C-alpha cells in the first residue's frame, strides 16, 4: 500500500497563519494526504492566538523569535531550523505563504533538499525593490524556486507568467476570504475589554493598522498626525488603532496618540476581535496587505497608507484607494468618505476581486493533481 503524500505547511507570521489556517484544516480533512504543520514563531505572541482559534497544533515549532530581531537573524534561524525539519521528515511537498522572511527561508531550505514548493498567494508585485521591504524581493525569489504558484487573481497569474518562472500556476482566490466565514458573527462579544465599550451605532469607528517597515519614522508620524486631524474634524469619529509590538512602531505612535480623546490604542488584538471590529467599523485605514482583501469582503472601504500596492485589483474594482503617507492627502481622502454618502457607497458596494470562500479547496485539488491522486485540476476563480 502506497504511503500517503506528505504535505508540510510552513508559516511564522500572524497574517500568514490567518491565511494558511483554512488550508491546513482542508488538507487535514483529505484522507489521502498526510498534512504536517511547521511554524517558525517569527511572530510569537500574535501567532499563538491564531493557532489556538483554529485549533491547529503544530507538529514542529522552531520558536525563533527574539526581542528586536533583525531580518538576517530571522532568515538565518528559520533556514537552519527548517533544514533540520526537512532532513528529518522529507515531505513530498512544502506549502509556504506570501512574502515573509519565513516564507523565503522555507522555500530556500526546501530547494536545498530538492523538495518542491507550493507558493500560496503567489504573483503579487510592485516591481519596486525596496517597497514593500523586504516583502517584494522575498516573493520574487520564492517564485523563482516554487513548483506550484497559487495566485489569488488573474493579474497575479499574469505576473508569474511574465517572469517565465517554472512550475504550474493556478488562480484560486485568496484563502483569507475562506477564513472570514469562520470568524465574523453578528452576536460576537469582543475579547478586548475596551472594544466592548464602543458605540458602533452613535459613533463612526475608523479601524487603523500601520506597521510596515517602509513607513517607519516620518511616514508613520504623518499617519498619526492625520488621525489626529480626522478626530478633530469629526466629533462623532472614534479611532481604534491596535499598535504593533515592534519598538520602531511604538516609539513613534505612543508619544503622538497615547491619551488622546477618541483615539483608542490597544496591543495587537486577536483575529476574531480584528475581523469583527472591521465588520462593525465605518472605514479602514491600513498599510496592511491582508486588510486590503478582508475589509472589502465585509463591505468596508479601505484607504491604503502606502505609496503603492501590490494589490491593484482592489484599486481597479474600487474597493480601496491609495492614500499615500502624507498627512493632508490622508485627511482629505478620508474626509470625502465621511462627508459624501455617494462616494462611500461606491466603495462599500464594489465587488471584492479576491475570492469566493473556496480558495483552500482549489489549492487542495491542485495539490492532489500534483501528487498524482487526481486527474482533475481546479476550475479557476474569477475571469481572465
Query: Among 231, 244, 280, 362, which one carries the catalytic annotation?
Result: 244
* CA pair distance 196, 282, nearest whole angstrom: 16
Active site residue 236: no
Query: Among 43, 139, 211, 306, which one carries the catalytic annotation?
Result: 211
Q: Could you tell me whether strands 60-61 and 93-97 are parallel, antiparallel, or unpaired per DSSP bridges? A: unpaired
Active site residue 99: yes
Contact 131, 380 (CB under 8 A): no
Q: Count CA within 13 A, CB hemisphere, residue 110.
A: 27
Query: Among 213, 250, 262, 369, which one carries the catalytic annotation?
Result: 213
Active site residue 213: yes
Strand partners of residue 95: 9, 118
Sign of CA dihedral 241, 244, 250, 252: negative
- Cα–Cα separations (whole angstroms), residue 381 to 64, 150, 155, 189, 291: 36, 11, 12, 33, 20
Active site residue 168: no
Residue 222: Cβ within 10 Å count:
19
- Cα–Cα separations (whole angstroms), residue 46 to 15, 42, 51, 53, 200: 9, 9, 9, 12, 26
* CA pair distance 198, 229, nearest whole angstrom: 20
Active site residue 97: no
> Residues 245-270, buried b or exposed e (16+ Cβ, 10 A)?
eeeebbebbeeebeeeebbbbeebbb
> Quick check: helix, strand or coil at residue 206?
strand
| Residue carrying C-alpha cell 455617494 | 342
* CA pair distance 312, 84, nearest whole angstrom: 38
- Cα–Cα separations (whole angstroms), residue 179 to 48, 82, 123, 172, 360: 16, 26, 21, 14, 10
Query: Among 16, 92, 135, 214, which one carries the catalytic annotation?
Result: 135
Query: Among 61, 121, 192, 273, which one carries the catalytic annotation?
Result: 121
Q: Sort 155 into a burial class: Cβ within 10 Å, 0-12 / 13-18 / 19+.
A: buried
Query: Among 16, 61, 99, 293, which one carries the catalytic annotation?
Result: 99
Active site residue 121: yes
| Residues taking part in catalysis | 99, 121, 135, 211, 213, 244
Amino acid at each position: 500500500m502506497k504511503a500517503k503524500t506528505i504535505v508540510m505547511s510552513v508559516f511564522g507570521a500572524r497574517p500568514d497563519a490567518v491565511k494558511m489556517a483554512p488550508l491546513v484544516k482542508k488538507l487535514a480533512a483529505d484522507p489521502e494526504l498526510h498534512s504536517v504543520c511547521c511554524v517558525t514563531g517569527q511572530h510569537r505572541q500574535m501567532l499563538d492566538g491564531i493557532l489556538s482559534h483554529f485549533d491547529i497544533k503544530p507538529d514542529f515549532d522552531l520558536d525563533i523569535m527574539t526581542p528586536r530581531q533583525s531580518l538576517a537573524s530571522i532568515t538565518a534561524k528559520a533556514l537552519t531550523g527548517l533544514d533540520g525539519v526537512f532532513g528529518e521528515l522529507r515531505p513530498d511537498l512544502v506549502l509556504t505563504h506570501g512574502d515573509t522572511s519565513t516564507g523565503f527561508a522555507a522555500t530556500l531550505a526546501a530547494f536545498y533538499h530538492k523538495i518542491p514548493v507550493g507558493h500560496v498567494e503567489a504573483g503579487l508585485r510592485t516591481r519596486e525593490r525596496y517597497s514593500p521591504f523586504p516583502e517584494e524581493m522575498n516573493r520574487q525569489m520564492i517564485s523563482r524556486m516554487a513548483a506550484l504558484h497559487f495566485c489569488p487573481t488573474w493579474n497575479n497569474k499574469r505576473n508569474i507568467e511574465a517572469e517565465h518562472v517554472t512550475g504550474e500556476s493556478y488562480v484560486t482566490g485568496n484563502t483569507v476570504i475562506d477564513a472570514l466565514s469562520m470568524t465574523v458573527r453578528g452576536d460576537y462579544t469582543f475579547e478586548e475589554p475596551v472594544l466592548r465599550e464602543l458605540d458602533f451605532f452613535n459613533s463612526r469607528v475608523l479601524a487603523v493598522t500601520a506597521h510596515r517597515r517602509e513607513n517607519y519614522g516620518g511616514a508613520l508620524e504623518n499617519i498619526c498626525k492625520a488621525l489626529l486631524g480626522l478626530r478633530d474634524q469629526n466629533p462623532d469619529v472614534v479611532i481604534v488603532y491596535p499598535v504593533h509590538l515592534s519598538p520602531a512602531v511604538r516609539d513613534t505612535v505612543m508619544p503622538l496618540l497615547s491619551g488622546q480623546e477618541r483615539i483608542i490604542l490597544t496591543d495587537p488584538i486577536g483575529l476574531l476581535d480584528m475581523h469583527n471590529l472591521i465588520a462593525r467599523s465605518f472605514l479602514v485605514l491600513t498599510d496592511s496587505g491582508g486588510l486590503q482583501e478582508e475589509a472589502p469582503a465585509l463591505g468596508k472601504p479601505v484607504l491604503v497608507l502606502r505609496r503603492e500596492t501590490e494589490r491593484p485589483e482592489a484599486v481597479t474594482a474600487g474597493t480601496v484607494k491609495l492614500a499615500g503617507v502624507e498627512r493632508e492627502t490622508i485627511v482629505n481622502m478620508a474626509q470625502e468618505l465621511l462627508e459624501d454618502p455617494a462616494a462611500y457607497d461606491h466603495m462599500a458596494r464594489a465587488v471584492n476581486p479576491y475570492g469566493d470562500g473556496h480558495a483552500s479547496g482549489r489549492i487542495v485539488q491542485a495539490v492532489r493533481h500534483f501528487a498524482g491522486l487526481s486527474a482533475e485540476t481546479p476550475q479557476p476563480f474569477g475571469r481572465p
